Amino acid sequence: MIILVVNCGSSSLKYQLINMDNEEVMAKGLVEKIGLADSQLTHKWSGQKKVIQQAIPDHHVAVKLVLDILTDPQCGVIKSMDAIDAVGHRVVHGGEAFSKSTLITDEVMQALEKCSAYAPLHNPPNIVGINACKAIMPNVPQVAVFDTAFHQTMPAKAFMYGLPYELYQKDGIRRYGFHGTSHRYVAGEVAKVMGVPVEKLRIINCHLGNGSSLCAIKYGKSVDTTMGFTPLAGVLMGTRCGDIDPAIVTTIMEKRHLSTKDMDKLVNKESGVLGISGVSSDFRDLGDAAAKGNKRAQLALDMFHYQVRKEIGAFAAAMGGVDVITFTAGVGENGIEDRAAICQGLEFLGAKLDPERNNVRGKDALISTDDSTVKIYVIPTNEEIMIARDTKDIVSK
Ligand code: ADP
């Protein structure tokens, strides 16, 4: 079975074509700057790469271009579009309507439209991508895999905010949590690596990238997570502020005469480690600047490491203990110094990092000492394979 995995952002489309007989990635790529003058497609297959620069006005054209290149005589990997058995779509917000991945029907599309109210930045491009694929491949089943679904097992005490209850009932104001596909993948993978059933483990997964979230996974289920109603909450991120006192929002809006749109931009795009350092949202740049003595870059890193460590402590308390801490995503997989700084001081929990084992990037690895009662692992995430597996399971039924 061959599955196309599609992840549409507002101006981008990432894809992977996966042969599910052996989970081999046949080809993958990225369409960037959709709707802009300098849009382009980067396609990779069998160790080769092709970049096509051309006007790509919308997602419909982007999907067409991807299918053209996948079936191209030179750089394609399939003879025709008919070789694609199903399409799996990443969808950011599934609200309370979706606790699992689902086959996309007309009713599902209606429910997705409703969820857009909660994720106005993320869900509309996901829906545009689904519609484009449906129009171009009308007979191919399409499956939606949600970032929020894994967290639907959180108990009410973890997902409710201390606001009037009717805001939850009428407006769906609650913690949803994100990165669920990644948290679910890493939990399964670390259990496999350890040779222990996931149902026997209390895992704290630290997904640290441009966007970061931690998840408390108790015996296979998400019981708490740091992101909230939107992906803005939790720890400090590349450009997002993470948790702040809500009164700051009203105070700044009043003082600086900001519109909701301006305020939204400030907390989503101008804050986080970028806002603190004034240098960059990229952790490599921050590390370089801090090494050269930039104090604000160092402060941004210190804040990030401290906040992640604090949440690890909180989730250990939430689960009555922890068996494994996992690091994943760009910073989690590659940030050797970041992991060391985060784990410093966690020895009281029984989590001891081994500096030599920690000298690793981008592969499954145990990085705690032999006498560490809490195991610490690096587990590279793979949201695409999770989307493809769910899609295969659903269309095989
Ligand atoms: P996204 O949330 O956009 O998927 P990623 O998971 O790709 O983000 O993570 C991007 C982040 O990972 C960037 O801040 C980048 O600097 C960081 N990163 C990548 N490689 C390294 C590295 N070697 N050391 C520290 N950080 C790294």
> Is the model's pLDDT at 178 over the cut of 90?
yes
Q: Give 308's strand partners.
A: none
Return the pLDDT at 121: 79
Residue spans of alpha helices (H) in 137-225: 156-159, 165-171, 180-194
* Dist CA 223 CA 199 (whole Å): 13
pLDDT tens column, 340-359: 999 999 999 999 999 999 99
Return the pLDDT at 370: 98
Task: For ligand 1, pick from 331, 358, 384 the residue to mutate: most ligand atoms within 8 Å of CB.
Answer: 331
pLDDT tens column, 301-312: 999 999 999 999
Which pTM value belongs to this model?
Answer: 0.96
For residue 315, the one-letter residue type is F
Q: Whose CA is nearest to atom 27 of ligand 1?
A: 331
- 3 state SS of 211: coil
What dihedral do alpha carbons 56, 62, 64, 66 form, nearest 10°?
Answer: 120
Q: C-alpha distances in angstroms, 386 versus 127, 334, 390?
A: 20, 21, 6
Return the pLDDT at 146: 97
Which CATH homologous superfamily contains domain 197-378?
ATPase, nucleotide binding domain (3.30.420.40)
Q: Whose CA is nearest to atom 2 of ligand 1?
A: 210
Task: For ligand 1, pick from 30, 32, 284 the residue to mutate: most ligand atoms within 8 Å of CB.
Answer: 284
User: Residue 93: which pLDDT band, with cuts at 50, 70 and 90?
Assistant: very high
The CA 171 to ligand 1 mean position distance, Å, reads 34
Radius of gyration of the chain (CA): 21
Burial class of residue 28 (count of CB atoms within 10 Å of its CB; 0-12, 13-18, 19+): middle
Domain boundaries, the chain: 2-146, 197-378
Per CATH, 2-146 and 197-378 having the same topology is answered yes
The CA 304 to ligand 1 mean position distance, Å, reads 14
> Is the model's pLDDT at 122 over the cut of 90?
no
Is the CB–ligand 1 distance for residue 211 below 6 Å?
yes
- What secondary structure letter does DSSP report for 372? -
* Dist CA 119 CA 94 (whole Å): 9
Q: Give 16's strand partners.
A: 5, 28
- Domain spanning 2-146 has what CATH number? 3.30.420.40
Return the pLDDT at 357: 98
Is the CB–ligand 1 distance for residue 72 below 6 Å?
no
Nearest CA among 389, 331, 340 for reference residue 362: 331
User: Residue 61: which pLDDT band, with cuts at 50, 70 and 90?
Assistant: very high
Round to the nearest angstrom and report the end-to-end CA distance of the chain: 13
Q: Are 150 and 184 in contact (CB under 8 A)?
A: yes
The CA 281 to ligand 1 mean position distance, Å, reads 10
- Per DSSP (E only), the strands in the chain are 2-8, 13-19, 24-32, 40-45, 48-53, 86-91, 102-103, 142-146, 202-208, 212-218, 221-225, 324-328, 365-366, 375-378
Is the CB–ligand 1 distance for residue 288 below 6 Å?
no
> Which tokens hold the place of 123?
């869900």
Return the pLDDT at 116: 87
Phi, psi of 271 (to 5 degrees): -110, -150
The reply to whether 147 belongs to the active site is yes
Task: For ligand 1, pick from 183, 205, 236, 283 the residue to mutate: most ligand atoms within 8 Å of CB.
Answer: 283
Q: Which one of the listed residues 72, 147, 243, 323 is annotated catalytic?
A: 147
Atom number in ligand 1 closest to CA 287:
25
179: left (phi over 0), alpha (psi -120 to 50) or beta: left
Is the CB–ligand 1 distance for residue 210 below 6 Å?
yes
Q: Give 368's strand partners.
A: 353
Is the CB–ligand 1 distance for residue 331 below 6 Å?
yes
**162: Cβ–Cβ under 8 A, 6 or more apart, which residues?**
none
Is the CB–ligand 1 distance for residue 310 below 6 Å?
no
